[in-house]
Amino acid sequence: MTHPTASDFWEALRDSAPVMFGYIPLGMAFGVLFQSLGYHWLFAPLAGVIIYAGSAQFMSVGLLATGVSYTEAFIATLLLNSRHVFYGLSVLNRYPKQGLARWYLIFGLTDETYSLITAKPPEFSKNSRYFVYLTGLNHSYWVIGCGLGASLQSFFAFDSRGFEFALVALFLVLLIEQIRTMKERWVIVFAVCASILAYVLIPNQFLLAAIGLCLIVVIVGARRGEVDG
């Protein structure tokens, strides 16, 4: 722990700048969409503070509009965020072993925070103060974005039509990034088929059905040892 506090903070600020440019407009898009539900605008930044998951928050707007149960919201979020289960695997040894910082870092392990943390050399694992700053900065960009979008919508009657595309674009970009680095590209074909099948069979439960079908493909693939593509 040779790094003084100030330089840790500035380093985290510098490293997190690209995330700021991503999170603020995206958070704003969520805030604008959220306002279509008609709740007080302060609930949008609150969602950013306690949920802090981009795709899940966008999904929540649809869930709230259709009036789903708490259980459905819980399960849908669990499935949507299931990829995060695998993020922990590669930062297990980098994170502090106990304390409040550990649990905050785990809570704040978003796609972007994960990619910044894993981009750091292993010797950084001793420096949990840097990780806390980085996670906290990213979290705050997101909350600020959610608040800005929702409050601007409330005060200036911001026209939000079309902004829902930001979500599709985000997923598309993440998909392109993942296709670039993966070997087993055949799973993409299965995922497209699973999506079409889910849309045709159970359009009301599209997300659950499609991700469920994908899970089955991976499980069957793993069991049969045929995932060497």
Residue 215 interacting with another protein (CB under 8 A): yes
For residue 86, give the 3-state DSSP assignment.
Answer: helix
Find all residues with CB under 8 Å of 226, minimum gap 6, and list them: none
For the CB of residue 136, give the shortest distance to another protein in the complex, in Å: 16
Specify whether the CB–CB gap between 163 and 29 falls below 8 A: yes
Specify whether the CB–CB gap between 45 and 150 falls below 8 A: yes
Residue 101 interacting with another protein (CB under 8 A): no
Find all residues with CB under 8 Å of 148, minimum gap 6, and list them: 24, 27, 28, 31
- Closer Cβ to another protein, 132 or 167, answer by number: 167
Specify whether the CB–CB gap between 166 and 26 falls below 8 A: yes
Locate 227 and state its tokens: 């995932």
Closest C-alpha among 86, 18, 26, 88 to residue 56:
26
Candidates 101, 152, 187, 202: give the one binding another protein (CB under 8 A). Answer: 187
User: 């420096």: which residue's tokens?
Assistant: 127
Degrees (nearest 5) of the Cα angle 19, 21, 24? 95
Number of neighbouring beta carbons within 10 Å of residue 163: 18
For the CB of residue 57, give the shortest distance to another protein in the complex, in Å: 8
Candidates 7, 118, 178, 205: give the one binding another protein (CB under 8 A). Answer: 178
For the CB of residue 5, give the shortest distance to another protein in the complex, in Å: 26
- Closer Cβ to another protein, 10 or 21, answer by number: 21
Candidates 118, 126, 179, 205: give the one binding another protein (CB under 8 A). Answer: 179
Interaction residues for another protein, span 37-76 (CB under 8 A): 37-40, 43, 46-47, 50-53, 55-57, 60, 62-64, 67-68, 70-71, 73-75
Interaction residues for another protein, span 112-171 (CB under 8 A): 159, 161-171
Candidates 13, 218, 220, 226: give the one binding another protein (CB under 8 A). Answer: 218
Candidates 184, 205, 220, 226: give the one binding another protein (CB under 8 A). Answer: 184
Site string for another protein, 71-100 (x = CB under 8 A): x-xxx-xx-xxxxxxxxxx--x--x-----
Q: Is 168 exposed, middle or buried (0-12, 13-18, 19+ CB in 10 A)?
A: exposed
For the CB of residue 14, give the shortest distance to another protein in the complex, in Å: 16
For residue 78, give the 3-state DSSP assignment.
Answer: helix
- Closer Cβ to another protein, 1 or 89, answer by number: 89
- Closer Cβ to another protein, 3 or 191, answer by number: 191
